[in-house]
Structure 1
Amino acid sequence: MRRFAAALWPVMRLRTIMFALLLVVAGLPGVAAIGLRVYENALVRRTEAELIAQGSALAASTALGFRADGVQTDEGQPTEPSDYDDRAISTSIDLRSSAVLGERPDPVPTSLRPDPAALAMARAWTPVVNQTKQATLASILLLDRQGIVLNGRDAGRSLAALPEVRAALAGRSITTLRHNGAYTHPYPLEWISRATDIRLHHARPIIAGGQVVGVVLVSRSPRALFRGMYEDRGKIAAGTAAIFLFLVLMTALLGRTIVRPIEALSQATRALAEGRQADPPQPTLRVQEIDSLIRDFATMASAIEARSHYLRDFAAALAHEFKTPLAGLTGGIELLQDHGDTMSAEERTRFLANMASDTQRLSRLISRLLDLAKADMQRPSDAACDLQDVVVRLADGLGSPGFRVVFNQSEVTARVAIDGAALETVLMILFDNAKAAGASEVSLKGMRSATSLELAVIDNGNGIAPSDRARIFEPFFTSKRAQGGTGLGLPIARALVNGHGGQLELVNSQQRTQFRLVLGFFSG
């Protein structure tokens, strides 16, 4: 499963994941609000559909056998719908766009008398109306063609002025929203719902013989949001569980992509600080920033390990280099202390000369070590120098009948990104090594690229033994120890060049010794 997930997981940026997560979190309230409004609107429309169904049934029922001024119900049979009809009742109310009218006014007194036929119909259907009201909790009023109420406590009064009654008397069914002034708010959270204090009023014409003979006025408060939520508590609980599961999954995702790799890196860092093996983590689900951090950690761990090996080997070599002259000094001092009075002047002079030689070697070692330390601490900077000036100055200073530096001025004409003193030290070390190897001539050949100058330093000396080529840049390695060599010249030269962003390496050559010195052009 982990391999499958790793194969499908795209290596994204951390900021992308965080932005997506925050976007989802920021959108959750909006999604919930939209969902709540849509759900509430659906409840209102369902209430409207129920009112339409009740009004239609009552209008059709009361129209049966209706007589008003000689008008009689059609005897023809209505068209029967098919047994299966998936059409829904068409509704028109929308809480977002439908206007909410004021509370329905009370019926007003009128001098008109109710239509006798309509009044007879209302009396006959009173038991049906009462049972329907009890079952549906709706208010049902029957009106004649003049808008006069035929049932209930307001019988004999008129609602003809109501817009919905006028529309129904004109032959159109209509549903309106009105404020419900009698409603109280028993629950503190009902302010969330917009439909708590409104009431739906549906007016439907009673048609007999093609004429409007009365109106059915049905009204009811929409199904309460909180009651609807209670009835649909299972669905709401499932939605809540789905959101919680999503948050758990997002937490697990962030934990696996960010938290766990950082914790593993923390453990590896502690292991590295304690000198133990530090293995960087390999997360299953990868993120670019975490990947970069792991790579940087691995590079740092390798550099620290290499530096640790270097320091350990350097310390061992340093101890060996200091041990020999110190042993000579200690032995000479002991001999002088024990037998100084019985020694001849010649023996005493020889021992003192040996001790002086050991002291000079220690002094050279200390001086070279300081130079190496400075070179190792060298970092790229804006230093620059003219290569030709340095080469000409060294060639003039070292030129003699037995040694010369040969070069073409056009090949060494460049301003390179290295300190002049550092470059002079590097070339002096290479020239001194050539002279120590018996060379009578050192030639410099320059080759340019787009960003750097490659300088070949070639001498005609005795060359370097193949077995020594791999070790010439190791501190304290020298084949001229008897002649006073410290084995620190080439390590210092390479450290100085590397510190200025260049390269110094030995080129494989069968006959002559050749070094390759690469220096970047100064662009300041």
Structure 2
Amino acid sequence: MRLRNLIILTVIVPLFFILVVFSLLAITTLEENMRSKLETEVEIITHALGTSLGHAMARDTPDSIQDTLQSAFSFHRIYGAYVFNTEGEEIYGLGLGEALFKPEDIRAVVDSGELTGAYRDHDDWTYYSALMPLTTPDGEVRGVLQVNRLNTGVENYSHFISLVAGLVFVIGALGIVFSLWWGFRQFIERPINRLLGVMASVEGGNRDRRAAVQGPEEYRRLAEALNGMLDAMAEKDADIETRRHKEVELERRLHKSHKLAELGVLATGVAHEIGAPLTVINGQAQRLARRETIGDDERARLGRIRGEVERIVEIVRQLMELGRRHNLAKEWHSLDELVATALGLVEDDIERQAIEFETDLPSPPYTLLANGQQLIQVFTNLLRNAIQAGNVSNIRLTARATNTELRLWLEDDGPGIAATDRPRVFDPFFTTKPVGQGSGLGLAMVHRIVNDHAGTIGVIDSSLGGAGFEIVLPLAEPARDPSITPSSSTTFFTNSMNRGSLT
């Protein structure tokens, strides 16, 4: 059942019923009071006249009877006065209503000896008549006095009151109905419909819709509560979405870490197989280059062979580094010193290209527990990656620390990273540089080092307009995987190549 119908049934209908009953009782009580007042007045006048007429009839003087009857009309609204003998015959009378009673009615009053009153209709008029026995001072009943009073004034007055009361009731009822309807529509139905509209809009997918805080206090509080609930839901949804993205990102990074680990295992096996051949090639090329019988052109070609062999060695070494997690030897380092050391390694390239380098680091200088050499490699690789991007004039490094983590942002104003390339920038061998100018292992190595420190790294939109990287390092001691350690193949490969290079 709708609230409006419920209010009609529980409020308006009982209210109207009470008003009708109260009005009827009020009008009935008013009429009864007026009738009682009329009857009392007529009986008092009748008593006053009856006493005088009793003395006049005792003296048997018609003039006294006539004068006494005429004096009755000095009372207001007395319209008839008659004197009858004991047989019911009229002796003298004045005014209206002489034929209201029959002779037997008159004789009944003589027999009873008491004053009686009754309402009688005659010639479309309604009278209230009082009949009183006329007794002499010695107690003898000589006749009956009839005093008549029209009830027309009382009826008109009570009818007028009834009409006024009915009109007031109808107007009041209509006013109450209209007031309740308007008040319900303005202050109940419309605010509720607004709230329902907001709920329907939110249900339809418009999560940004909010209720207007207006109207009566209760609805303002209800709107504020609804908005608070929707804001809390929006925050929860945003938090859930953020966590979902983080979970997807962590899953992607975990998958990448697994791929790197598998790649390291493969690289270890490859290093074991190609270590000896590369050592032989490098040694033989070195011996040939020492002979005096060969020309400069041949010596240059042998030098190129040795360079390419060393390049292969470096690539294999980097692959093995990618594929295993290191037991990090951590010490306390100043972030400012690590950044300054990395900057010193690429300072010549920065000056040569006239690149402006900005830093925004915590003050006082922040210290962190980490492997300093590897973090320097992270900063160096990222700086070189920005320098080699081309058309870069500004590089900025920003750091902020909380109680649980350190966040670093390295940004440049270069051409940036295409959206299609962002998911693959940390993949081994992925590079946008021409063939022979990059191995595609620099960012992969950065990713591995950050993972070794139990941190995360990702590509962001740079405020400078170019490429941007965000690094998050936990301040707590990261967990280590003791199952992954340097392999004997790695040691063998490294030692073999060292021996070859010294041959």
Tell me which protein shows more helix as a share of its residues. 2
Identify which of structures 1 and 2 has the higher relative contact order when contacts are C-alpha pairs closer than 8 Å and 6+ apart: 1
TM-score by length of 2: 0.38
TM-score by length of 1: 0.36
Q: Which has the larger radius of gyration?
A: 2
